[in-house]
Structure 1
Amino acid sequence: MPAVSQPQQKFSVNFSGHAVQPSRDKAFFKSIEELRYQVYCEECGFLAPDDYPEKRETDEHDANSAHFAALNEAEQLVGYVRLVFPDALQSFPFQTHCVSILDNVILPPPAQSAEISRLMVHQNYRRRLGELPPAGFPLAETPAEAPRANDQRNPSPQIMLTLYREMYVYSVNNNIRYWYAAMERSLARILARMNFGFQQIGPFTDYYGPVAPYVADLRVLEYQVGQRDPALLAWMRAPLAQS
C-alpha cells in the first residue's frame, strides 16, 4: 500500500501506546507485572496468587516476546499486551492447550507469525458487558467506576485500539503477517465490531477460561478495515508514514 499522510481523525484521544523493553524499562515493566498479577491472579483467578509472592506475574514467554503498554494522559498504565514469537520448536503458547485444529485449516509459517497474549485493560477502564461503543470514533472516555465482584466488563475501545495499533506497527516493521489469539467468543465479536476480524481455527477449550484459537492475516485485516473504515486504517498506519 502507498504511504498514508497524517490523518486528521484520531481514534484514541486519551491514551498513548508504547513499546516496552523489559531489560531497559525495568521499573515500568515491574508495574506491568503487577497489573498482570491483579488481572490474572486476583480478578480472574486464572493463576494461583500463592505462586507469585511478590504480587508480580511473569512467565517463560516474556523473554521471547514484544511488549506494549497503553498509558492515560497522566502517564498511568491502563492496558498491556504482548506478541509471543515461536519457540525453538516453532510452536506457540496456545498450541499447548488448544491442541485440536478445525478441518481444512492450514497454519501460516511460524516465522511470519506471533501470538497475541496477556491482552488486558485496567479494571477502571472496562465497560459493563453489552456496553459497546457507538458508531463514530473518536470516543471521549473517562475512567469507569470500579467494577463490583463478578461484574464482567468489556475493555475500553480506545485502549484496545491503542494496543492493536502498537502491535500492528511493530508487526509491519518486523515482517509479521499473522496473529494468533486464544480468546472468548465475546471478545472476538467485539473485535469484529471494531473491524478487526479473526478466523476461528479450533474448538473451544479451557485455557484461562473457555476460549478458542483464532488467526488473523494482517493483509486481509488491512483490506477489511480499509473497505469499512478508511480513516481507521489511515490512523493505524500513520506511525509508519512518520518514521
Structure 2
Amino acid sequence: MVIQRLLGKRDLLVPYFKFRKKLQNDLQSALLNEIFALRYEVYCLECHYLPPEEFQNGLESDEYDACSVHFAAFTLDDMIIGTVRLVQPADKQIYPFESHCSVFDGYVMPPREQASEISRLVVKKTHRRRRGDSMQGISESFAKNGKTAAIQPHHGGDRRKGNSPMLLLGLYREMYRHSRQNGIRFLFAAMERSLARSLDKMGFRFVPIGPQTDYYGPVTPFIVDLDELNERLTRENKFLAAWFNDEPIPMSVIIKTLAESLWDKWTKKNLP
C-alpha cells in the first residue's frame, strides 16, 4: 500500500517521533539526565515556575521522581523533545496534586494501586510550532476546532510542520499502554481546563474532581478512567483505539478513516 511504502516501519500516527520509558527506582541514567535537563529548561528558565538557583546542575528533579515511571519523546535523530511521568506515591506519601489542590466533598479516591498521577508534562519550545501553542504542544487551532475523528493516519506530506497534537498524543499512548499492562485504571492530572478540553477532543475525557485553584496559574484536579477511555475510542474511532492498544489496524479501517478525513476537509472547504 502507498501508506506503507511512504512510512516503511514507522508509526502511522507519529512517524517522526520515537519514545522511551524509564521504570522506577533508578535515578542514575543518561535518559533521566536528559529528562531532568528538559524539565529545567522549561520549568526554570522558560516559564520561571521553579527558581533556577535551586538546581545548580541544571537538572530539575524532586522527591517524586524515585516513585515515577518516566516517558520521553525523541526526534528520529535522538534529540529529546518531550517528557512526562506517571507518579505512584509510596505508602503514606500524597499525590503531587494533593499538595496544592483539594477535592470535592464526598469524593472517594480510587484504590491507590489502581491509580497514578500524570505529572511534569512538557514539550520542548522548538516543537511548539506556532506562537499560541501551549507548553504541552497543543495549538490554538486544535484547541478550538479539533476533534477525535480528526486524528488520522499519516498519508504523505510533512506533518512535522503541522499543528496537530501528535507528539502529545504519542506520550499519552505510552502512558496508556504502561498503565493497562500494570493494572492502573485511573490517571489523575492537575491542569488548565483548556488542556482538559483539548485532551477530550483526543479521546481522553478527564472529569473534574475538585475546584480550580491557583498553582502557577489556574489548574483543576481531574481524573480519567482508562476503561471508559477504551470504550469511547472503540466506539468513536476504531483506528485510534487499535493504535492505542497496539493491535493490528485492518487496512479497511485505515482506508475508511482516511476517506472520512478527506470528506470532512472537502465539506469544510466547500460549504458556504
Calculate the TM-score normalised by the size of structure 1: 0.84
Secondary structure, aligned partner of 1:142: helix
Q: CA deviation at 1:109?
A: 1.0
> Is 1:138 the counterpart of 2:153 in the alignment?
yes
Matched with 1:5 is none
1:185 aligns with 2:193: yes
Residue 106 of structure 2 corresponds to residue 88 of structure 1: no
Deviation at 1:24, TM superposition (A): 7.8
CA distance in 2, matches of 1:79, 1:104: 36
Aligned equivalent of 1:147: none
3-state DSSP class of the match of 2:246? helix
Deviation per residue, 1:86-112 (Å, 9 max, x gap)? 2321531111110x2124432211111
Q: Output the CA distance in 1 between the equivalents of 2:108 and 2:100.
A: 18
1:25 Cα offset (Å): 6.7
Q: Residues 43, 10 of structure 1: CA spacing in aligned structure 2 closer, same or farther, 3 A cutoff? A: same
CA distance in 2, matches of 1:9, 1:181: 27
Structure 2: give runs of 5+ residues left out of the alignment. Answer: 1-9, 134-139, 250-272
User: Which of the residues 30, 49, 52 maps onto 1:49?
Assistant: 52
Paired with 1:82 and 1:143, the residues of 2 have a C-alpha distance of 26
Structure 1: stretches of 5+ with no match in the other structure: 1-7, 145-153
SS of alignment partner, residue 60 of structure 1: coil
Q: In structure 1, the residue corresponding to 2:35 is in which secondary structure? A: helix
Task: Give 1:240 shift.
Answer: 10
The answer to whether the 8 A contact 1:91-1:110 is kept is: no
1:117 is aligned to: 119
C-alpha contact 1:86 1:111 (8 A) present in aligned 2: no
The answer to whether 1:11 aligns with 2:26 is no
Written as runs of structure 1 = structure 2, the 5 A alignment for 1:161-200 is 161-200=169-208
The offset of 1:32, in angstroms, is: 1.0
Deviations 1:178-235 (A, max 9, x none): 0000001111011011111100111111223211100011001111111111110100
String of CA shifts for 1:98-146, please: whole Å, max 9, x gaps: 0x212443221111100000011111111424121852423543268xx
Instruction: Provide closer, same or farther for how the CA distance between residues 218 and 240 of structure 1 changes in structure 2, counting only shifts above 3 A.
Output: farther
Q: How much has 1:239 moved relative to structure 2?
A: 6.7
Question: Greater relative contact order (Cα 8 A, min sep 6): structure 1 or 2?
Answer: 1
CA spacing shift, 1:143–1:73, aligned 2, 3 Å: farther
TM-score relative to the length of structure 2? 0.75
Residue 122 of structure 2 aligns with an amino acid whose one-letter code is: M
Distance 1:240 1:53, change over 3 A: farther
Identity %: 42
Structure-2 change in CA distance of 1:172 and 1:52 (3 Å): same
Match of 1:219?
Answer: 227
Cα distance in 2, alignment partners of residues 15 and 200 from structure 1: 31
Secondary structure of 1:78's partner?
A: strand
Q: Match of 2:111, as an amino acid?
A: P
Greater displacement, 88-97 / 168-177: 88-97
User: In the alignment, which residue of structure 2 is the partner of 1:28?
Assistant: 31
The equivalent of 1:3 in structure 2 is none
Q: If you compute each CA radius of gyration, which structure gives the higher value, 1 or 2? A: 2
In structure 2, the residue corresponding to 1:224 is in which secondary structure? Answer: helix
Name the structure with the higher helix share.
Answer: 2
Q: Residue 16 of structure 1 aligns to a residue in which SS?
A: strand
In structure 1, the residue matched to 2:211 is 203
Greater CA drift, 121-130 or 39-48 = 121-130
